[in-house]
Amino acid sequence: MKNIDSTGHTRGESIYLDDIPLVQGTLFGAVFGSPVAHGIVRRLQVTEAASYPGVVRVFTFRDIKGDNQIGGIVPDEPLFAEEHVHFCGMPLALVVAVSEKAARAAVQKIRADIEPLSVIVDARVAQAKGELIVPPRTFRLGDIDGAWALCDHIVEGRADTNGQEHLYIETQGAYAVPMENGNIRVYSSTQAPTAVQRAVSKVTGLPMHALDIEVTRLGGGFGGKEDQANVWAALCALACLHLKKPVKYALPRTDDMVMTGKRHPYSSDFRIGLDKDLKILAYEVTFYQNAGAAADLSPAVLERTLFHCTNSYFIPNVRATAYSCRTHLPPNTAFRGFGGPQGMFVIEAAIVKAAEKLGVDAAIIQKRNLLHTGDAFPYGQLAVSETHACWEKSEELYDIAAMREEVAAFNRSQQLFKKGIAFMPVCFGISFTKTLMNQARALVHVYTDGSVSVTTGAVEMGQGVSTKMMQVASTVFSIDDSLVRIQSTSTMKIANTSPSAASATADLNGKAVLMACTEILRRLKDVAALELNTTAESVEVKAGMVWVGGQATGMTWKQLVMAAFVRRVSLSEHAHYATPDIHFDPAKEKGHPFAYHVYGTAIVVATLDCLRGRYTVDAVKVVHDFGVSMNPLIDRGQIEGGIVQGMGWMTMEEVVYDDTGRLRSNTLSTYKVPDIYSVPRDISIEPLHTQQDNLAIFRSKAVGEPPLMYGIGVYFALRSAIRAFNPSAELSFSAPMTPEKALMGLYEKQLEHVPG
């Protein structure tokens, strides 16, 4: 089934924040962000801005009625800077005016007198100075110190991955509207309506029941709106509270790029030990996460890095330590994969470095160490592994021998172009790593005309979750999809939601929809039994009709619903789902945190232009563990998008902060993202057919984040192409592999004999 939003999107009828009709008297905000990354605020001059034509009022921290605090995990993030600023773009003031134009112009009139302090932009520097967000954490398995003696080969190195701008097409924003009784409704472009509700409550001092956070849909989130939609909502609500007027602020693109955090850059040290059969016996890794100026979600991201530090491999002896380092960048935040990709890059780099040193193909080491069912992850959970199945199916299906021969033949025949090939296996844990977040609720109403309304905590952001919720309801009731409508997300309808994140949204909310619909159906069957003089067990609702003992009865769904109403039977249900069997003990760093894992293998081929450093990705050929996809069209779309987004992170997207903490890549002319021309020419996606039971909704495994990590294979395919041209290159592991970096690698240590 097609994504139900596709028609609305194509016609431009879908409602985003900017499409909400404005209430008369609406005012507009603009933020004055700190011009320096670190300093003491001596003086903030806002009088000129306040008297600018059209300006209604300028707000600062002094206007906050509740607490000047929006930190979620750690209370370390003021909404407005007070005496100190900690990153460029940190909000110092909010101008509210009768038009966007006036508000933005007035912002230019604000002057901040800030005494600069020293700026840290590098995670390792921060760690050396003891600037940590939370204490470091270590995951351990086996006896790492004893294991080195058993290794025949030991390789060490360093790996770096840069940040990534979310670049959701719809920028951050919020619109706060005063309601009666002092209530405020906030329309927010957020993945986490409840997080917005909490932040607004904290800042305004209003209780949560006075706040209705409404979300129709987002034009993309990718993690960027998991925690960082709170700021704009809190600002608008605060102004709304003071002025008793609707206040809207939708960020211009550059403000969004400058003021919001991104994927965390990581720098890591690794040491890997193998025996003579290329079995990995030992792996030690230290991660330095660049958290930015406040915790935001960094501690949770850090944790997911540790959970994914061995990717798809079983390694018996592991020690992985992770530091969350405080720097003077905007607080970095969730981004598709949530620290997992950063951890996986390092183990892949370690394997490639070992392979290069030993003169073997990295795929041999990769394949020899894939997880088996029953193998333990460093955090104690046992794998139910599909890694071998995915890997072997990919080799067979895509004829790896022929692919390799084609690459080798090309490289023999070409001087100035080289191809590289790489395997990228993926194993990704599904559940919020914080166990308590794995809960969801759904509210289902059946109306007397037979139509069905479903509300959940799920936020539609292009991933197709609404379509999946509709499928769940229409499948349980066995009625036509057109009878089911998925309503916008609202904290007054569904409370205490977890963010739409962690790839778990369809599972968690879908299970709640399943429970609610199943309960209503149970009641309807009782009604049918009474109406038709039979037992509830013999009643079925199928294709919109009531059946008894396998025979159609002529009673329609709508008649059944009406009969239930006449008998005063409830046609509504609010269901609560909590993922069973998951737990984690942070004191021991052991447990069973994930409902299940998603597996897959990608084979990547890239062609490098060895004169210019340019490249194209020829193919990304994937075997992916969908479980049993409930919507192959949507799921394939998620995989294609994930691959391209992962590839962008690994190749061309370069977040650049200078030493003073200013973002230099602050527009789309300086920050390059994949366009249609950089998409791999061939993306093949084959499902792995498994009949394993699992905790996914309808056994359809989560698909949001895992495919992003196939993109890591592009980095290693390019590295392999560089080495085909320049075998003596000693290349660092530093992503993204921009064309500039590829070019430097191609001619590293051999500038004197440029061919041609």
Active-site amino acid positions: 705
Query: Given the complex with ligand MOS, which of 334 and 606 has the nearer CB atom?
Result: 334
Q: Which among 309, 345, 286 is positioned nearest to 136, based on CA atoms?
A: 286
x/- site string to ligand MOS, residues 14 to 43, per CB under 6 A?
Answer: ------------------------------
Which range binds ligand MOS by CB under 6 A, 3-11, 22-30, 82-90, 330-338? 330-338
Which range binds ligand MOS by CB under 6 A, 141-149, 266-274, 332-340, 484-492? 332-340
Which range binds ligand MOS by CB under 6 A, 120-128, 328-336, 550-558, 595-603? 328-336
Query: Mapping DSSP to helix (H, G, I), strand (E, B) and coil, where does residue 147 land?
Result: helix
CA distances from 538 to 168, 526, 547, 551, 627 (A): 50, 10, 8, 10, 31
Report, in Å, the least distance between residue 553 CB and ligand MOS. Answer: 46
Give the integer Cα–Cα distance in Å for 691 and 307: 26
Which entry of ligand MOS, ligand LUZ, none binds 312, CB below 5 to 8 A by partner kind? none
Give the integer Cα–Cα distance in Å for 140 and 156: 19
- Strands 590-592 vs 583-585: parallel, antiparallel or unpaired: antiparallel
Contact between 582 and ligand LUZ by CB under 6 A: the answer reads no
Which entry of ligand LUZ, ligand MOS, none binds 486, CB below 5 to 8 A by partner kind? none
Specify which residues 490 forms β-bridges with.
Answer: 214
Contact between 594 and ligand LUZ by CB under 6 A: the answer reads no
Contact between 304 and ligand LUZ by CB under 6 A: the answer reads yes
Q: Which among 329, 303, 335 is positioned nearest to 227, based on CA atoms?
A: 335
Which entry of ligand MOS, ligand LUZ, none binds 432, CB below 5 to 8 A by partner kind? ligand LUZ
Query: Given the complex with ligand MOS, which of 245 and 262 has the nearer CB atom?
Result: 262
Q: What angle do CA 300, 36, 32 make, to 5 degrees?
A: 85
Give the integer Cα–Cα distance in Å for 564 and 515: 19
Query: Given the complex with ligand LUZ, which of 215 and 546 has the nearer CB atom?
Result: 215
- Strands 489-490 vs 583-585: parallel, antiparallel or unpaired: unpaired
Task: Taking each helix axis as running N to C, give the angle between helix 400-413 and helix 387-397, from 0 to 180 degrees, rounded to the nearest 10.
Answer: 60
Sequence-ordered strand ranges (E) for 309-384: 317-326
Interactions with ligand MOS, residue window 130-169 (CB under 6 A): none
Contact residue for ligand LUZ among 168, 338, 423, 557 (CB under 6 A) = 338
Contact between 223 and ligand MOS by CB under 6 A: the answer reads yes
Contact 173, 17 (CB under 8 A): yes
Report, in Å, the least distance between residue 333 CB and ligand MOS. Answer: 8
Which entry of ligand MOS, ligand LUZ, none binds 52, CB below 5 to 8 A by partner kind? none
The DSSP code sequence of 522-539 is: HHHHHHHHHHHTS-GGGE
Contact between 334 and ligand LUZ by CB under 6 A: the answer reads yes
Which range binds ligand MOS by CB under 6 A, 273-281, 335-343, 375-383, 635-643? 335-343
Specify which residues 174 forms β-bridges with.
Answer: 188, 249
Which range binds ligand LUZ by CB under 6 A, 102-110, 267-275, 344-352, 427-435? 427-435
If you search the block for the tokens 């709106």, which residue do you land on? 225
| Chain centroid, CA 236 distance in Å | 25
Query: Given the complex with ligand MOS, which of 133 and 708 has the nearer CB atom?
Result: 708
Contact residue for ligand MOS among 64, 479, 501, 735 (CB under 6 A) = 501
Task: Taking each helix axis as running N to C, give the angle between helix 298-307 and helix 340-358, from 0 to 180 degrees, rounded to the nearest 10.
Answer: 40
CA distances from 150 to 153, 311, 317, 319 (A): 9, 23, 11, 16
Give the integer Cα–Cα distance in Å for 594 and 303: 13
Query: Mapping DSSP to helix (H, G, I), strand (E, B) and coil, where does residue 618 land?
Result: strand
CA distances from 98 to 95, 102, 103 (A): 10, 7, 8
Contact 96, 29 (CB under 8 A): yes
Contact between 509 and ligand MOS by CB under 6 A: the answer reads no
Which range binds ligand MOS by CB under 6 A, 47-55, 153-161, 334-342, 477-485? 334-342
Contact between 432 and ligand LUZ by CB under 6 A: the answer reads yes
Query: Mapping DSSP to helix (H, G, I), strand (E, B) and coil, where does residue 323 land?
Result: strand
User: 460: which 2 tokens?
Assistant: 């539609």
Contact residue for ligand MOS among 307, 323, 335, 379 (CB under 6 A) = 335
Query: Given the complex with ligand LUZ, which of 330 and 706 has the nearer CB atom?
Result: 706
x/- site string to ligand LUZ, residues 487 to 526, per CB under 6 A?
Answer: --------------xx------------------------
Contact 333, 228 (CB under 8 A): yes
Which entry of ligand MOS, ligand LUZ, none binds 304, CB below 5 to 8 A by partner kind? ligand LUZ
Which range binds ligand LUZ by CB under 6 A, 243-251, 390-398, 430-438, 628-636? 430-438
Q: Which among 350, 360, 372 is positioned nearest to 276, based on CA atoms?
A: 360
Contact between 430 and ligand LUZ by CB under 6 A: the answer reads no
Contact residue for ligand MOS among 165, 226, 589, 635 (CB under 6 A) = 226
Contact residue for ligand LUZ among 55, 300, 355, 515 (CB under 6 A) = 300
Contact between 502 and ligand MOS by CB under 6 A: the answer reads yes
Specify which residues 137 forms β-bridges with.
Answer: 322
Contact between 598 and ligand LUZ by CB under 6 A: the answer reads no
User: 376: which 2 tokens?
Assistant: 């333990």
Contact residue for ligand MOS among 166, 262, 336, 590 (CB under 6 A) = 336
Report, in Å, the least distance between residue 191 CB and ligand MOS. Answer: 5
- Strands 615-624 vs 682-687: parallel, antiparallel or unpaired: parallel
Query: Given the complex with ligand LUZ, which of 292 and 613 has the nearer CB atom?
Result: 292
**Residues near ligand LUZ (CB under 6 A):** 226, 297, 300, 304, 334, 338, 432-434, 437, 501-502
Applying CB under 6 A, the residues found at the interface with ligand MOS are 191, 223, 226, 334-336, 338, 501-502, 705
